[in-house]
Every structure is written in structure tokens, then in C-alpha cells.
Amino acid sequence: MSRIAVTSRSFSKHPVLREELLKHYGDVIFNDAGAKLAGNGLIAFLEGRGKAITALEKFDGGVFSALPELTVISKYGVGLDMIDLQAMAKHGVKLGWTGGVNKRSVSELVISFAVALLRYVPELNAEVKKGVWRQRTGRQLSGQTVGIVGCGHIGKDLIRLLQPFGCRTLAHDIRNFPEFYEETQTEPAGLEELLKTADIVTLHLPLDSTTQNILSAERLSWMKPDAILINAARGGLVDEAALKTLLYENRIAGAAFDVFATEPPEDSDLLNLPNFLVTPHIGGSSAEAILDMGRAAIKGLDVNRIPEAGVYP
């Protein structure tokens, strides 16, 4: 029977997931110390283990070379930017991965962000706690134009949740989904058109060489002054310094970020802007999503395949 290692701190401290994994495998080590495993520490933890459940730990060619017994990595979550898939395939390591497993958790957070920013909830909450009783007229989510950059599992789920609000939805993606667009009355759009048109811009992209800094200073400047930006996808997609300037100068109305290029974020000036809402990378971490992700990761220990560019994942 395979020897299993769980590097994820979240999975390791979840009693239900621990119990369910131990029903399938007897020889399991968990990250009970809550260590942030990286480099030699990650290698030492995984040494002698054939399969692993991982989350945010970084796997590159050096890690794979140092772990010849490792045959399977099963992903707890959906993001893959921390795994060098080319190196993984070169070393013959299989990937267990289920796309969209936490999509509802993320899309609901995005809607909560949109409503909060449109109604000035963070700013007014802070004011009332300071003794200021000032009413402001915000906007409803209903009827707004929402631009979705990245129409994968989460983007599609978000579009479906927006339908009862009567929002106009624009979608930008490198792929085309004509049947979905027709079904949901979503309009495919170029990135420039989307940014110049949408009242709400929300990002749902992986982070790779093609999406790094996709919202550059120039592209951010295309947004309308009353528009809001939401990033619950990956840090590194947005030029955060340029965003800070636009928010400070009220050249866009507001932004909500769940992810940052460096986590925890270090720019206190950005974090303290009144029109900036921030959460600590909780998008895919509702109680329900954690269970779904964990169970998918357990399944992925047995249902997996070698990564193949353009095919899997």
C-alpha cells in the first residue's frame, strides 16, 4: 500500500478529511506542525512517500529530482501555478486534479464583494464605528454590466448566479464558448472593450506567463471612473502599484482583492485606502468547498494522469 504525505496545513487539521483519508490509507503523515513547507523542508517531509496531497507548496524540477519515489501529487484546490507541470511530466509524476471543485465558494464571494463596494459597505461600516452617521447613495448590483475576464469553471458559475440580477455579462477568454454564451446571453468581448464598458470587472484566470500583469497600468486606465475591480483569482494578475494610484485619485471607484502578488500583502498604503476591500485568500475556502476539495484530493490519489500540455489539466 502506498505511503501518503499531506503537506497542506488546512487538510491536515480538518478532522473529517483526516478520518476519510485514513479509511483508505493506513500509512499517512500529516503536516501537524503547521509548517510552511518549501525547498529542503518540503523534500524532507516527502522523502520516502509515494503519493502526496498538496496545496500551496511549490514543486519545481529540483524537488521532483530529489524525490524519485514520489509518483502522484493530488491537488487540494484548483490552482496549479505552484507546480511546474512540465518538470512533473518529465519525471513521470501523475497529477490528481478536479477543476471547478470550489467554484461556488469563489463566485459567491465575488458577488458579496460587488454588493459591498457598490453600496460603500466597508467605508460606511468604518465611519459608523467612529461615530460618524453619514448616509451615501450607492448602486444596486441589479442591471449592472459585469465583465468576466476568464470564463472557466468559476467565470461560468458567476454568470449563472448573476442572471437573477438582470446583469449584462461580458466575457473575455482565449477560448470560445458559443453554446454557453447563447444560453446565458453573455457577450464575448475583447479585453479593451470589456474594460472600457463594464461597471464591474472580475478576474478568473490562472497565473502564468501569459496572464502575469494582464491588468497593467495602461489597461487599468481603460476602466470607467465609477467602475470597480475584483480579483479573487491569483495575485500577480494586476499591477498593484498602478491600482493604488487609480484608487487614491478616484479614477476608479473601488476594488476588492482576495489575492496578492505577495501574501500577506505588504503595501499598507494600498490596504488602508477606504475604497479598497481586502480578504486573506479565502475565496475557495468555505466550509463546503474545503470538504469538496479534500474529497477530490483523496480521490485524486487513485484517479490521476501525467500532465499533458493543452490536454490535461
- Residues 259-280 have pLDDT tens digits of 999 999 999 999 999 999 999 9
Question: In terms of residues, how long is the chain?
Answer: 313
Structural domain boundaries, residue 232: 103-278
- Residues 26-59 have pLDDT tens digits of 899 999 999 999 999 999 999 999 999 999 999 9
pLDDT at residue 180, as a whole number: 98
pLDDT at residue 289, as a whole number: 96
pLDDT at residue 2, as a whole number: 84
Output the CA–CA distances (angstroms, integers) from residue 176 to 79, 181, 186, in the order listed: 21, 9, 12
| Contact in structure between 167 and 142 (CB atoms under 8 Å) | yes
In total, how many domains does the chain have?
A: 2
Question: In this structure, are 70 and 179 located in the same domain?
Answer: no
| Contact in structure between 50 and 302 (CB atoms under 8 Å) | no
Asked if residue 69 is part of any domain, the answer here is yes
Question: In this structure, are 70 and 90 located in the same domain?
Answer: yes
Question: How close are the terminal C-alpha atoms of the chain, in Å?
Answer: 26
State the CATH number of the domain containing residue 219.
3.40.50.720
SS3 label, residue 94: strand
Amino acid at 75: K
Question: In this structure, are 127 and 188 located in the same domain?
Answer: yes
Question: In this structure, are 96 and 107 located in the same domain?
Answer: no
Question: In this structure, are 107 and 136 located in the same domain?
Answer: yes
Angle between helices 103-118 and 121-129 (to 10 degrees): 60
Question: In this structure, are 236 and 93 located in the same domain?
Answer: no
Which element (helix H / strand E) includes 5? strand 4-6
Q: Where does the pLDDT of residue 79 fall: very low under 50, low under 70, confident under 90, or very high at 90 and above?
A: confident
pLDDT at residue 110, as a whole number: 98
pLDDT at residue 29, as a whole number: 97
Cα–Cα dist 307/44, whole Å: 24
Give the pTM: 0.91
Question: In this structure, are 77 and 139 located in the same domain?
Answer: no
Cα–Cα dist 297/274, whole Å: 39
Question: In this structure, are 92 and 132 located in the same domain?
Answer: no
The sign of the CA dihedral 34, 38, 40, 46 is positive
φ, ψ for residue 96 (rounded to 5)?
A: -100, 120
Asked if residue 17 is part of any domain, the answer here is yes
Cα–Cα dist 235/223, whole Å: 19
Question: In this structure, are 83 and 226 located in the same domain?
Answer: no
In 3D, which of 89, 47, 86 has the Cα closest to residue 70?
47
| Contact in structure between 53 and 97 (CB atoms under 8 Å) | no
Complete edge-to-edge strand list for the sheet that includes strand 254-257: 187-188, 168-172, 145-149, 200-203, 228-231, 254-257, 276-278
The sign of the CA dihedral 160, 161, 165, 168 is negative
- Residues 201-256 have pLDDT tens digits of 999 999 988 999 999 999 999 999 999 999 999 999 999 999 999 999 999 999 99
Question: In this structure, are 93 and 207 located in the same domain?
Answer: no
In 3D, which of 170, 178, 172 has the Cα closest to residue 237?
172
Which residue in this structure is represented by grid cell 504525505? 5
Catalytic residues: 234, 263, 281
pLDDT at residue 1, as a whole number: 63
Question: In this structure, are 167 and 295 located in the same domain?
Answer: no
Asked if residue 309 is part of any domain, the answer here is no
Cα–Cα dist 171/186, whole Å: 7
| Contact in structure between 186 and 161 (CB atoms under 8 Å) | no
| Contact in structure between 278 and 256 (CB atoms under 8 Å) | yes
The sign of the CA dihedral 244, 246, 252, 253 is positive
Please report, rounded to a whole number, the percentage of residues in the chain having pLDDT higher than 70. Answer: 100
pLDDT at residue 96, as a whole number: 98
Question: In this structure, are 52 and 148 located in the same domain?
Answer: no
